[in-house]
Amino acid sequence: MAPNSPLSSKAIDPRDRLILALDVPSLEEGKRWVELLGDSVQFYKLGLQFLMTGQYFDMVDWLGARGKKVFADIKFFDVPETVKSAVEGLARRNVAFATVHGNDPMMEAAASVKGNLKILAVTVLTSLDRGDLDDLGFQCDPEELVLSRARRAIKLGCDGVISSGLEASRLRAELGQNFLVVSPGIRPVENKPNDDQKRTVDVEDAFRLGADYIVVGRPIRKAPDPRAKAEEMQARIAALFQA
């Protein structure tokens, strides 16, 4: 690794750095995907779609029994005391990461009861660009908003942030290495124009810019051979971190 490189030096198993977004509508389909992917994926993100199955924690427990890691991407956003209670309950489950998408008191409440659970603050969703932020009333550049939110989240006790790889290098340059950067919106260079992810990067770029983990969904699940695609990404990640 080159001096001052943003490439992550944290002691993370390279195969854990790929997180699969398990955005499916049922427990049965979720299990089918995990069995199909086998040991090509070790870490799974369960988001709001899976929450609506009514079997969220059945899947959490099922994954845990198979030695898989779980990222609970629920994006807690509520009054601080409610966020605190929710995180306190989640911290008793077999979950590695959870997201909070709120203001300072919400993030502080979550961090105060996290235990071994890693709290990740959502900065700016990767489906939003400058035009979307203008529509929402944020009169600033996405990179500046990401940096501002990340700085506050880390100060309040969060373990890291969810951020596009596009902003990861500046986060590392200004805030250092002592926090996690998890980057969704991973797409091939030839990303389709009708994709709802706008601020995207490729696998290698995300890590070279400073991400510790990447979250990948459709590029694997919609591949002709999803397991082969996951293994291909794992090989690319391994090549980066064994260099």
Active site members: 75
Sign for the pseudo-dihedral over CA of 114, 117, 119, 125? negative
**Residue 164 corresponds to which amino acid?**
S
The answer for residues whose C-beta is within 8 angstroms of residue 46's C-beta and 6 or more apart is 22, 30, 56, 59, 60, 70, 71, 72, 73
* Phi, psi (deg, nearest 5) at residue 161: -140, 160
Euclidean distance between CA atoms 96 and 119, whole angstroms = 9
Phi-psi region of 116 (alpha: psi -120 to 50; beta: other; left: phi over 0): alpha
CB count in 10 Å sphere of residue 178: 9
Euclidean distance between CA atoms 124 and 142, whole angstroms = 7
Q: Report the candidate in 192, 177, 188, 193 with the shortest Cα–Cα distance to residue 236.
A: 188
Q: Report the candidate in 212, 181, 203, 198 with the shortest Cα–Cα distance to residue 125.
A: 198
The answer for residues whose C-beta is within 8 angstroms of residue 36's C-beta and 6 or more apart is 226, 227
- The residue with tokens 């924690």 is 57
Euclidean distance between CA atoms 230 and 220, whole angstroms = 6
